[in-house]
Structure 1
């Protein structure tokens, strides 16, 4: 009996030590107090243990012991998921100095534990122990790495999550990673080889799920966003579509590619007409940002200026003084005495954002450099438990590894087969969220919408070919599409985008929901461009009851009136809403 109890005790200690050894004890430059734990460590991504995949985990601000797990992948291929953490949906944003971290109150760990996997091997801090600066990758290899890494996360790195409800999520080229990994996990759950059976959904943002579909849709998107003259567009419709409907024509026949990812117009007359419409600004000839058609970085000279001081104490203290005055103005507003911005500066013109048209003072324009500076400091790498072995390979952390992208040849130019197999094999209820910022040209909303329509159509046709119509009606339904309706941010106050839902049931009796959603005014990086709507969207997705239509307007799962955390340097508590506070904090950081 004693020996049995001792064994249980030793097992408990072992599990605890394996999970807690990756705890981040002191994150350099952190300017605010956190009420959640963060972890950084490695999981094996091959059987021999030579492929080490780095992960970071930011636990929930709400109830980390019970809240679901959301796994996040950035795309590329070759881009680090830490870019997603520090530049989009994570709780930490890096100041202009590359040394300090300010708070992102709209982080996705509001009511979820968020796991970031740096995939594939060779990206970020992930590495091959036998080959320095490893860069070989392809779709199937990446899928296998992701499956084994996630398996080992549940089994070894953080076994406390082994029975937790979890979801996959990611953006861009993760539109290939996620359907492939979802397919493998469903197979593993069915045959008993995957350790966590509580897999309930996958969310794909601005997904690269169908290459030709995106290319053809971009042609249409560009034509109706003023990128072509009416004369040239009429010529294309008359001479290039061969009498077919322009909305369904395959323009890829006038293109060429070397990696099956990037396409350019060929030397034909139609190829030359199509090229300006499918261009994503590779040659900077038009001067727009491919990730957000309406995003500008006006004054690039600011990026070459000396970094403004952001030591924390002076900047944050000044910020709080301004914030306090703003709070008073908010109170005066209720009495009809609102003072506007007069209290923030003697010259209100100094508050005008002269560098960008976003509300983060050009963070989108310079964050890659700041994040790279931060993650390449020795103190930060030590805090993140990055091993000396990685450093000895003369590695550096980069947002995206060009050597991986430049040597990557896409295997699957459409993900239909993976969606179809998932839908067929599911034995429990499951939901997909396919969301798009509607002004992204890299992976546009129209191409993804057409792809999901094709997925729904494929499965209806497959069902019809297998069994008779009468038997079908008695056992399960076709995919049915609902109306396209608006959804709103913050209690119906502001239009956030549009959503359409496909619902169906497979032969195993599993109910399947696919939500097709747009985020108004967002580009490729939805969590950054529309921070509030994005966290409301994802929180409703992971907290919706199974087999129920999701109300993305619902604000009961997420309170948009966010309170800033206490500051480490002052201990003062901020009690005002995020909008004004971050405005003042970043004003001080930039100027």
Structure 2
């Protein structure tokens, strides 16, 4: 109860409880502590599942992401208060947001020097976090557990779910009741995502035929079949030169909307950030960077116990480092392992995301289905409340992929109603 939040500054009244605090995940010399934000379900929390949300980057704050995607609140236009998120996932689940890896949000280590993170170390620390979190919240041990996230969480989420299942095999006491994972625009095979951008932009007429054919010719040393070869496949020099031509792909995060036209200075002067482009508030991501630096917010949130000598940022905090090789890891073997243990996987990708295009993700999943001899794949349209939502691809009984019309790299931010619908109907409800 020491972690209970009475009320956040500028927060509307709600009928559910919120908790924040630190979990010391490494008792050794490094002294690693992860910050978390736990939100009970709106109704009948003790009979609802628990969903862990991990955001990507790597290096972005899952707790900060809660205030611009699936959490119960969205910052107001002047970033000094909060509005209810009408499409919060706590309508159907308890939500646990964890700042990881080390250096994300308010998570930290006592070790000197930069925070050296990687997939394996992050997975190990997250398992330790979950074990200790359940000690603080034992009533949730028996609840169905889902793990979800976006972008580089395509690594974090499957790795954590797999590690929790492995821990079950060794533990005589606590069992993690993992039921499914949900991934938005996940990074699964980084180098192939880069090639998929050329497919995506060529189909949109934004990469001409000459450049496209050059890529096909010069970058053909890497493909779906040899990606997870034990021998690392490198780009050729001509291929690298093409891929490094950054001006080819402006606004990868969202290829149809104008970005936010304001900044933190505007907010500090009392201005409102109100950039709405094609129905999406494009400044939603920026405003938490102001809100979480308000001293009253930090006190109410039990955050910043180390008194950071620099501002809180939603992404890429001071001293943050991440293993470059891990970013190129192939995540299909981990997804395969989860499916073999009957873990449901729901993946959804925005069709205007140029960073991790849906066309690439779909190729990866066809490859995965081929590896597992899953033959029953089908494609059909899906809709929500009689409105066309996108395409649905079913791979057997456990793996489903959706495209979301008009959604960018963060589906829960740009199309929150659709994200809640997909999570509810194809992750939670299918397991009950």
Alignment TM-score, normalising by the size of structure 2: 0.88
Aligned residue for 1:138? 118
Give the Å deviation of 1:383.
Answer: 0.9
Q: Deviations over 1:303-351 (max 9, x none)?
A: 74843479xxxxxxxxxxxxxxxxxxxxxxxxxxxxxxxxxxxxxxxxx
- Contact 1:220–1:247 (8 Å) recurs in 2: no
Listed as ranges, the matches of 1:355-394 within 5 Å are 355-360=275-280, 363-364=281-282, 366-386=283-303, 388=305, 390-391=306-307, 393-394=308-309
State the alpha-carbon separation in 2 of the partners of residues 480 and 116 from structure 1.
Answer: 36
Compare CA radii of gyration and give the structure with the larger one.
1
Equivalent of residue 418 in structure 2, options 511, 533, 555 = 533
Identify if the C-alpha distance between structure 1 residues 370 and 501 changes in structure 2 by more than 3 Å, giving closer, same or farther.
Answer: same
Listed as ranges, the matches of 1:162-561 within 5 Å are 162-192=141-171, 195-234=174-213, 236=215, 239-240=217-218, 268=238, 270-276=239-245, 279=246, 285=247, 288-297=250-259, 299-300=261-262, 304=266, 306-308=269-271, 355-360=275-280, 363-364=281-282, 366-386=283-303, 388=305, 390-391=306-307, 393-394=308-309, 396-401=311-316, 403=318, 407-411=322-326, 413-424=329-340, 426=341, 429-460=342-373, 479-490=374-385, 493-503=386-396, 513-546=398-431
Give the Å deviation of 1:406.
Answer: 5.1
Q: 5+ unaligned residues in a row in structure 2: which ranges?
A: none
* Higher percent of residues as strand: 2
Q: Alignment length, in residue pairs?
A: 425
- Contact 1:98–1:374 (8 Å) recurs in 2: yes
Identify if the C-alpha distance between structure 1 residues 183 and 249 changes in structure 2 by more than 3 Å, giving closer, same or farther.
Answer: closer
Q: Mean alpha-carbon deviation: is it higher for 213-222 or for 530-539?
A: 213-222
State the alpha-carbon separation in 1 of the partners of residues 214 and 124 from structure 2.
Answer: 46
Identify if the C-alpha distance between structure 1 residues 169 and 356 changes in structure 2 by more than 3 Å, giving closer, same or farther.
Answer: same
Q: 5+ unaligned residues in a row in structure 1: which ranges?
A: 1-19, 252-256, 280-284, 311-352, 461-478, 504-511, 549-591
State the alpha-carbon separation in 1 of the partners of residues 155 and 337 from structure 2.
Answer: 14
SS at match of 1:88: coil
Give the Å deviation of 1:60.
Answer: 1.0
Give the Å deviation of 1:500.
Answer: 1.3
SS at match of 2:6: coil
Identify if the C-alpha distance between structure 1 residues 455 and 248 changes in structure 2 by more than 3 Å, giving closer, same or farther.
Answer: closer
- Contact 1:76–1:405 (8 Å) recurs in 2: no
CA RMSD of aligned residues (A): 3.1
Identify if the C-alpha distance between structure 1 residues 119 and 272 changes in structure 2 by more than 3 Å, giving closer, same or farther.
Answer: same
Identify if the C-alpha distance between structure 1 residues 185 and 357 changes in structure 2 by more than 3 Å, giving closer, same or farther.
Answer: same
- Contact 1:78–1:404 (8 Å) recurs in 2: no
State the alpha-carbon separation in 2 of the partners of residues 367 and 358 from structure 1.
Answer: 14
State the alpha-carbon separation in 2 of the partners of residues 99 and 445 from structure 1.
Answer: 36
Aligned residue for 2:101? 120
- Contact 2:74–2:83 (8 Å) recurs in 1: yes
